[in-house]
Amino acid sequence: MTALGHLINGARVDREGRTQDLYNPSTGEVKGQVSLAAKATVEEAIAAAQAAFPAWRNTPPAKRARVMFRFKQLLEEHTDEIVRLIGEEHGKISHDAGGELARGIENIEYACGAPELLKGEHSKNTGPGIDSWSEHQPLGVVAGITPFNFPAMVPLWMYPMAIACGNTFVLKPSERDPTSALFIAELALEAGLPAGVLNVVNGDKEAVDTLLDDDRIQAVSFVGSTPIAEYIYSRASANGKRCQALGGAKNHAIVMPDADMENVVNSLTGAAFGSSGERCMALSVAVAVGDEAADNLVAKMQESMTSLKVGPFSDKSNDFGPVITQAHREKVCGYIASAEEQGATLLVDGRDIQVEGYERGFYVGGTLIDNVTPEMTCYREEIFGPVLLVMRVDSMEEAMRLIDEHEYGNGTCIYTRDGEAARYFSDHILVGMVGVNVPLPVPVSYHSFGGWKRSLFGDLSAYGPDAVRFYTRRKTVTQRWPSAGVREGAQFSFPS
């Protein structure tokens, strides 16, 4: 079986060299291999993008947007196939994979508005007979490096807008589940992108480092874990590139004593365990205010968790599937063990789950841990598995202090019926995306997505209006056409 190759200058390209196994996490079996691009292959992709840039930059924005309209249609026509490709390599259940794709398509819809979004600002008569305008020019070749957990959606956060703004693009998807990203990119070409405008290289650190060091790459968008985000941001910035690097998370939900506990439990169950907790917006910590609320919460959570259905991606009736690899399964189980060792109370233990007929799949069942305290490893670090921690505090101030002191600041939520408390919380909390009785406050495509603190390195968030700012640079032109016959002498003072 040939390893999954690359998409360079409009064509699928296979190269001899290093490969990595691709797994079906639902069964635990190897399903194929992916090529890991050598430096020369990545340079070929960059060269193709560089060559395609002048013509693409000069293509009218409305024509570029028309390609996006066709791209959206093609994705909708191929939804079932894409959902299957995501499920086979990631393991998420088809309804969840469908949701991911739909959110990705919303970013294409936003990119369809590029002609409107790229309109500049114009001022007439900024001086006698002088007009001035600011315009947004594309940067050139930009790169995107993406994580395993949203193999279809996160690339679509990046290149539709980058390309609609007139840039050309090199995407490096996760080497753990690259097939859907490559398939989707081929649909973008089918929609009418000229060769070289969008290129995909599969690979690992060697490919990433090539993108970070090559002078032809003007900007880098990254989404992944915090240590790698920090590395990407430092290296890209040191090389003079614009960079946005989105990292990991630890998202807290404050459960106030007045919250509607039935709704809280339903909402938390989906937000903590959906996609096996492998979401950067997963709610992984419930902070209950007062012991009464905490006792009520854990009792109802335990009851709700008895009906969780875990199994292969292909069975729509499952709530969530496996985690991404055996190594990650062991890591998640290690966090659960450490919580118990460090004194937390393990109420529901998902480590020994057996899925009939899929005994070698990488499953972890829903896990609930009570009495977690701030110094515990399971609290300090991102687990990225179906594990919900419960912490007990005496006041909302204490809950907010916990959140503010955590190194991550991606998402958070407060469950309450008290408008004043909710307003204070959303105004003051040191987190980038806040929900009030909304567990996963992932912004829609016409707002931007980004955390605070060590969840985002850089100044601009992903997609939405910030994407237009990130993928363009401002140029301001001041213009005068002197009337025929009018002559002016030299002026030595600063023009005012």
Residues designated catalytic:
280
Least Cβ distance, residue 173 to ligand NAD (angstroms) = 6
Give CA 38 to chain center in angstroms.
26
- Segment 56 to 95, residues that bind ligand NAD, using CB under 6 A: none
Torsion of CA 413, 383, 89, 309, to 10 degrees: -70
Question: Which of 284, 416 has the CB closer to ligand NAD?
Answer: 284
Give CA 314 to chain center in angstroms.
24
Helix (H, G, I), strand (E, B) or coil at 142: strand
Roughly what angle, to the nearest 10 degrees, separates helices 205-213 and 226-238?
Answer: 30
- Figure out which of the listed residues 451, 463, 464, 471 binds ligand NAD, where binding follows CB under 6 A: 451
Q: Using CB under 6 A as the criterion, what x/- string covers residues 366-395 for binding ligand NAD? A: ----------------x-x-----------
Residue 280 as a binder of ligand NAD (CB under 6 A): the answer is yes
- Segment 213 to 242, residues that bind ligand NAD, using CB under 6 A: 223-225, 228
Rg from Cα positions in the chain: 25
Least Cβ distance, residue 473 to ligand NAD (angstroms) = 24
Residue 202 as a binder of ligand NAD (CB under 6 A): the answer is no
Question: Considering only CA atoms, which of 85, 114, 116 is closest in space to residue 101?
Answer: 85
Q: Are 121 and 134 in contact (CB under 8 A)?
A: yes
Q: CB atoms < 10 A from the CB of 109, how many?
A: 14
Question: Considering only CA atoms, which of 117, 152, 153, 71 is closest in space to residue 446?
Answer: 117
Question: Which of 166, 464 has the CB closer to ligand NAD?
Answer: 464
- Segment 283 to 342, residues that bind ligand NAD, using CB under 6 A: none
- Figure out which of the listed residues 204, 213, 315, 398 binds ligand NAD, where binding follows CB under 6 A: 204
- Segment 93 to 122, residues that bind ligand NAD, using CB under 6 A: none
Q: How far apart are CA 237 and CA 250, in angstroms?
A: 26
- Figure out which of the listed residues 249, 254, 264, 400 binds ligand NAD, where binding follows CB under 6 A: 249
Q: Are 223 and 154 in contact (CB under 8 A)?
A: yes
Question: Which of 118, 220 has the CB closer to ligand NAD?
Answer: 220
Q: How far apart are CA 326 and CA 314, in angstroms?
A: 19
Residue 267 as a binder of ligand NAD (CB under 6 A): the answer is no
Adjacent-strand bridge partners of 246? 223, 456
- Stretch of 144-152, 162-170, 438-446, 479-487 contacting ligand NAD, by CB under 6 A: 144-152
Question: Which of 280, 288 has the CB closer to ligand NAD?
Answer: 280
Question: Which of 56, 150 has the CB closer to ligand NAD?
Answer: 150
Least Cβ distance, residue 34 to ligand NAD (angstroms) = 11
- Segment 148 to 187, residues that bind ligand NAD, using CB under 6 A: 148-150, 154, 172, 174-175
Instruction: Write the CA distances from 306 to 217, 270, 301, 347, 349, integer angstroms.
Output: 51, 14, 9, 12, 11
Residues that bind ligand NAD (CB under 6 A): 145-150, 154, 172, 174-175, 204-205, 208, 223-225, 228, 246-249, 280, 382, 384, 410, 451, 455
